[in-house]
Structure 1
Amino acid sequence: MEQSDQISILLVEDDAAARANIAAILTGAGMAVEQAEDGAVGLTRAGSGTHDVVILDRMLPSLSGIDIVKRMRGAGVGAPVLMLSALGRSEHRVEGLESGVDDYLAKPFEPDELVARVRALWRRASRRNPDPVLLFGDLECHVKARTVWRQGRHLALSPKEFELFLYLMHHAGEVVTREMLLRHVWKLSFDPQTNVVDVNVGRLRRKLEEGFDGPVLETVWGTGYRLIAAAPAVAATGRAGAASGG
């Protein structure tokens, strides 16, 4: 039996009736729910970093759900976020997922699906590698701090670029298909028929490679993308070497 009573939820929803209904569903499933009805208050409480899952309504007073998750990710708050919204078209889901949301559920929804999605987010977060640093070649990813380095140089990535890079790092040296990225980074079970993957891979590649000697993100034509290790002599410089030369 799953230990759902261990899941701590922050619920940010301005509609009192909807908030009470959602809280009742979650507490009925054994979860602890803290509530907020305003975007600014929700952001403050989310910043505490004490919640296992954050549930955000998209349209909120003061700050929208999109604004909250962008600021959370910018501040290094990595709690998984489930966004609820009456705007359920594919472009709305893509916008939410691009901002750093982990899952997106359109209103109205079935109570069982809400509980299942929250538990799935909690399980994924619980299984994350406890080692906060991932290394591959001359690339370095600090998972909890959500920072990325190459040859000791910090690379400023957007929230979605970081999620994309993190997934590639977990599969470093392997070919990752466009469908895998849509499913695991954008949480889409369908192809939205946009170039969202290609655009973000292109942006990430520029940040990883501009100003450096060798490529680290290659396109495997007709298949997908792959992180490749830089030459050992370059990787050996590390952060200390870069710092001493700067």
Structure 2
Amino acid sequence: MRVAIVTGASSGIGQSAAIQIAGRGVGVILTYGRNPAGAHDTVASIEKEGGTAVALPLDVGRSESFPAFRDAVGAALRETWQRDTFDILVNNAGFGQMALFEDTTEELFDRFMRVLLKGPFFLTQTLLPLLTNGGAIVNVTSNAALHSGLEPGYSAYASMKGGLTVLTRYLAKELSPRGVRVNSIAPGATRTRLADDAFERFPEVIPALAAKTALGRVGEPDDIGMVIASLVSEEGQWITAQDIEVSGGLNL
């Protein structure tokens, strides 16, 4: 059985990706930060359909914790799947917050950097010895880093997501001798818990966002999760170094 690691899978896009990947017969190690109950819900959903999943805590903003996390991954692989390696890495964990350029503090900038760019960079580096040849990596970026998603208030957030897109291409180049495929996906406005449940707190913004989308609605987690599952499966075997926008035609 192949095994995937999906970070930030206690809700939203990560939760959907973990469930969709598991539905294709892949074991899943999923991570959570402040929402252990959501992570356990993800595990329960996977197990209900006959899959296998393990939830581990991880703060992607604390790179000093990554060696211990790698040890925990190794233990889970041996105990649950009787193997020492995994096949798929989905770097999804993150956070979002709006701040106009002139209002962005160094503290917020540094937090964006630690969680959205430094975290995926060094987590991938730390886990690389355990990743099988011929494996796959997907980095979740954002269309805020693209022309289609350009809105005031996201300069720092989008800069880090743009950096992750560039990192994706370099990883695809450097890991290609091992047959490892690396892609990124750039979701548009998606109904998740991002920005402290912004969609729940401000439902009035949804119609305006839907009106900007060619397909007439905001995205749902499964819209993104299914694309991730496809990219890391056999259907995506000839795709690498791509940044795929998944936004329903936002600002088309």
TM category, shorter: 0.3 to 0.5
Which structure's residues are more often helix, by fraction?
A: 2
What is the TM-score normalised by the length of structure 2?
Answer: 0.38
- Of the two, which has the highest radius of gyration? 1
